[in-house]
Amino acid sequence: MAGERALPLLVILGPTASGKTGAGIAVGQALSGEIVSADSRQIYRYMDIGSAKPTPEQRALVPHHLLDLVDPDQTLSVAAWLAQAHAAIADIHARGRLPLLVGGTGQYITALIEGWTIPRVPPDEQLRADLEHFAAEHGAMALHDRLRAHDPAGADSIHPNNVRRVIRALEVCAATGKRWSDLRRKQPPPYRIRQYGLTMAREQLYARADARLDQMMTDGFLDEVHDLLARGYGRELPSMSGLGYAELTAHLLDGEPLDAAVLRAKHNTHDFIRRQYTWFRGHDGGKILWQDGETLAINALIEDAAGWLKQE
């Protein structure tokens, strides 16, 4: 490839707790890189511990982009995230450095590397409230059936339990008069891309995720959730539905025993990891170079990436 389509982009993806942050920093230090975060929880300000956001010390080692973009009571659509991600990548390239897309939010990563073009439809709060009420009264499957009636292809691409995405698809249909799936066109991005995926045996990964949550609790996760509630960020916000945040909110507001809330957060994290793997398997296409995160030879990965960068 030549011209603008030859711009390199390294991707480091994988499920939660697989070691992406450390790997991204090591590669960034070795290859003059800067990290573009692909994490739908780390976009929120004041949500640092529970989102496993890179620490100030880690950010000092390698520049990070797309962290702390919005307050917890604000929203950021995939289309808006994509625009900011492309801008950050262009800025990094303009300064002669290497962009590293690092994260575990499959929709963000796939949207960028497959070149999704998503309509910039502003949120319709009343419609969202009506659809949320409908889902609560009739069930997630009934809401999904409404989407299927408007957009069968769109319904096939969204799990019925992902109520938020179903509502967004219906919102786009209502605002544009077109099917959501038809508006999600693909236009290959101006990058040549190499993807590394971190994985490990499932039980090892669950154990790492559990240990990380225990460390988060030691680091003040409960105080972070208490502070968010004190700032007026209620449990009804999408940001507060994140792993750990919802469960600790139930402890603080409903009196659920703390041990039970933490255990429930661990189980929900395991479920989330399974969903992440399902997404990555569905969008792999044989292009993800999977690495064992437990025995990762980071120097070999860096050497492989450096060799790829020398190719035209």
Domain boundary among 183, 205, 227: 183
Residue 2's pLDDT is what?
39
- In eight-state DSSP terms, residue 70 is B
Q: Is residue 236 part of a domain?
A: no
Q: What CATH number does residue 195 fall under?
A: 3.40.50.300
Contact 289, 194 (CB under 8 A): yes
Nearest to 166 by CA among 151, 182, 183: 151
Same domain, yes or no: 61 and 209:
yes
**Side chain identity at residue 15, one-letter code:** P
- Per DSSP, what are the bridge partners of residue 100? 10, 35
> What token pair was written down for 232?
């007026």
Asked if residue 260 has pLDDT above 70, the reply is yes
Question: Tokens 């990891």 sit at which residue?
Answer: 273
Q: Based on the domain organization, do 285 and 152 belong to the same domain?
A: no
Q: Are residues 71 and 88 in the same domain?
A: yes
Based on C-alpha coordinates, what's the Rg of the chain? 20
Looking at the structure, do residues 47 and 135 belong to the same domain, yes or no?
no
Q: What value does the mean pLDDT take over residues 116-133?
A: 86
Q: How many domains does the chain have?
A: 2
Supply the range of the domain harboring residue 155: 125-183
Q: Are residues 79 and 212 in the same domain?
A: yes
3-state secondary structure of 102: strand
- Position 159 scores a pLDDT of 87
Model pTM greater than 0.75?
Answer: yes
Q: Are 20 and 296 in contact (CB under 8 A)?
A: no
Mean pLDDT check: name the lowest of 44-48, 94-98, 136-140, 226-230. 136-140
Alpha-carbon distance of 38 to 36, in angstroms, equals 6
Q: What is the CATH number of the domain that holds 129?
A: 1.10.20.140
Domain membership of residue 255 (yes or no) is no
Residues of the chain above pLDDT 90, percent: 83
What does the angle CA 284 – CA 164 – CA 175 come to, to the nearest 5 degrees?
Answer: 105
**Residue 154 in this model has a pLDDT that exceeds 90:** no
Longest dimension (CA), the chain: 60
On whether residue 172 sits in a domain, the answer given is: yes
* Token pair in block for residue 136: 């609560």
Q: What is the mean pLDDT of the chain?
A: 94
Angle at 44 between CA 43 and CA 45, to 5 degrees: 125
Task: Give residues with Cβ within 8 angstroms of 69, minimum separation 6.
Answer: 43, 44, 45, 76, 84
d(CA 300, CA 289): 13
The Cα 49–Cα 27 span in angstroms is 23
pLDDT in tens, 161-200: 889 889 989 998 998 888 888 777 788 889 999 999 999 9
Boundary (domain end) residue, out of 133, 165, 183: 183
DSSP 44: B
Using pLDDT thresholds of 50, 70 and 90, give the confidence band for residue 1. Answer: very low
Q: Residue 6: is its pLDDT beyond 70?
A: no
Task: Please name the amino acid found at residue 252.
Answer: L
Whether residues 9 and 109 share a domain: the answer is: yes
| Strand partners of residue 41 | none
